Amino acid sequence: MTTTRSRMLFVNIAVKNLDRSVGFFTKLGFTFNQQFTDETATCMIVNEQACVMLLVESKFQGFTKKQICDTSTSNEAAICFSCESREEVDRMVEIALANGGSRAMPPQDHGFMYFASFYDIDGHHWEVMWMDPAAVQK
């Protein structure tokens, strides 16, 4: 049997206005690691093992030879995080929409799993989901 080693995850996304993006995600309840924050980037904490780096477009461009995705016409990824309840899923989407985000897809209910999605203020696709803990243990 192979043992899976725990790895940290860093998702890097380009943002147009760092302060505006920090404000948006702060309203969704996220915090930031000031040790990895300057005027061009910040580290949004998801949990002890996962972070999202918000990088101004010019900084992000330094990490790739490819063109930055135009999120108004293309989708580079769907980033998903979990919630503790169906109600929290709906609340997170409502907060996102009230603070400049837009609806991506209608909510989907699969009984044991419920999720909804939104585009953030830079057009990145975010999903928020709840999964029945009893279904996860099976």
Q: How far apart are CA 77 and CA 83, in angstroms?
A: 19
Asked whether the beta carbons of 117 and 127 are under 8 A apart, the reply is: yes
One-letter amino acid for residue 125 of the chain: H
Strands 9-15 and 113-119: unpaired
Residue 29: name the closest of 77, 91, 116 by CA: 91
Mean pLDDT on 35-41: 96
pTM reported for the whole predicted model: 0.87
Mean pLDDT for the chain? 93
Domain ranges in the chain are 9-137
pLDDT category, 41, cuts 50, 70, 90?
very high
Other beta carbons within 10 angstroms of residue 92's beta carbon come to 19
What distance in Å separates the CA atoms of residue 125 and residue 135, rounded to the nearest whole number?
26
Q: What is the mean pLDDT of residues 36-61?
A: 96
- Cα–Cα nearest to 13, from 45, 53, 41: 53
pLDDT, one tens digit per residue, over 18-29 is 999 999 999 999
Q: What is the pLDDT of residues 97-135, one digit of tens each?
A: 999 999 999 999 999 999 999 999 999 999 999 999 887
Contact between 120 and 73 (Cβ < 8 Å): no
Task: Look at residue 50 and tell me whether its pLDDT is greater than 70.
Answer: yes
Q: What is the CATH number of domain 9-137?
A: 3.10.180.10
Mean pLDDT of 60-84: 93
